[in-house]
Amino acid sequence: MWIRYGEDEVREVSFEQLGQRHFEGSVPWRAMRSRRGQAHLPGSYWSSTMGGQVVFESQLELARLLLADFDPDVVGIRAQPCWMRHRVKGRVRRHVPDFLLTLRSGLVRVVNVKPADRAKDPKVREALAWPGELFTAHGWLYEVWSGGEPMVLKNVRFLAGYRRPWVVDGDLVERACELVREGDELALAERRLCSFGECEDVRPALLSLLWRGYWTTDLTRPLSGRSVLRRCT
């Protein structure tokens, strides 16, 4: 396995020695490129988990990245963390995983993102299987992700608009933590807070707390004033 730390700095690390520490200060394996007419839409995303940009190479990757950034159990996100080479059935195979997620528990999850129709292709399944076998044998988690619940993704994408602390009123956020009660509907929570700030600033403060995991609500339904807020434990 090879990990890149800069344009001209690459280090080889054996699976036997591999640990989270080897990814500190690393950069994505590939440089992000855009060209006219390409099928995928790559870009970079400001991650609240990382406090900086994380690259993605498709909109499906961006969807998985949003879910990782929203997940309170994820404390680290790295895109294209390494380059792998391994002999499989007499043939040398090469692979760059899409994401490496560090979990609060100390575990690591390696994620590959593939559209459902491609993931069913036997050649693609084979190409994704051997990295999973290596990571699993190393004690890490492995996931091939092809999409999630559409309404959940829509809601998380919406909440991501409030992930940056500087776009919301910090004083209102603190007031909301004090005044909003378990089981309040979002509209009721807004009414509680409107006497402490501009009404147009109240909802962003509440939605920011939903993004941060201070509260939760049923994201399988459209977010609305009727959404019930539950305090996360």
Asked if residues 159 and 66 have their Cβ atoms less than 8 Å apart, the reply is: no
> Helix 199-212 vs helix 170-179: angle between axes, to the nearest 10 degrees?
70
40 band by pLDDT with thresholds 50, 70 and 90: low
DSSP, collapsed to helix, strand or coil, labels residue 28 as coil
Please report how many Cα atoms fall inside a 13 Å half-sphere around the Cα of residue 146, on the Cβ side: 10
What residues form DSSP beta bridges with 97? Answer: none
Residue with tokens 């406090």: 51
Residue with tokens 């895109």: 79
**d(C-alpha 217, C-alpha 119), whole Å:** 32
Query: Encoding tokens for residue 93?
Result: 């195979």
**d(C-alpha 182, C-alpha 2), whole Å:** 48
| All structural domains of the chain with their residue ranges | 2-145, 150-231
DSSP, collapsed to helix, strand or coil, labels residue 137 as helix
Query: Encoding tokens for residue 177?
Result: 């933590």
Kindly give, in sequence order, each residue whose CB lies less than 8 Å from that of residue 177, ignoring residues fewer than 6 positions away. Answer: 209, 214
- Cβ of 139: how many Cβ atoms within 10 Å? 9
pLDDT tens digits, one per residue of 143-196: 999 999 999 999 999 999 999 999 899 999 999 999 999 999 999 999 999 988
Q: Which of 28-37, 53-62, 106-115, 200-209 has the lowest mean pLDDT?
A: 28-37
pLDDT tens digits, one per residue of 80-105: 999 999 998 889 999 999 999 999 99
Task: State residue 36 phi and psi, 5-degree precision.
Answer: -60, 130
Please report how many Cα atoms fall inside a 13 Å half-sphere around the Cα of residue 137, on the Cβ side: 8
Sheet with 74-79, edge to edge strand ranges: 74-79, 99-103, 108-113, 141-145
- What percent of the chain is predicted at pLDDT more than 90? 85
What residues form DSSP beta bridges with 110? Answer: 100, 142
Handedness of CA 47, 56, 38, 156 (dihedral sign): negative
Does the 2-145 domain belong in CATH 3.40.1350.10? yes
DSSP per-residue codes, 154-190 = HHHHHHGGG-SGGGS-HHHHHHHHHH--TT-BHHHHH
Residue 35: per-residue pLDDT: 62
**pTM recorded for the entire structure:** 0.93
Burial (CB count <10 Å: 0-12, 13-18, 19+), residue 70: buried
pLDDT tens digits, one per residue of 188-208: 999 999 988 888 899 999 999
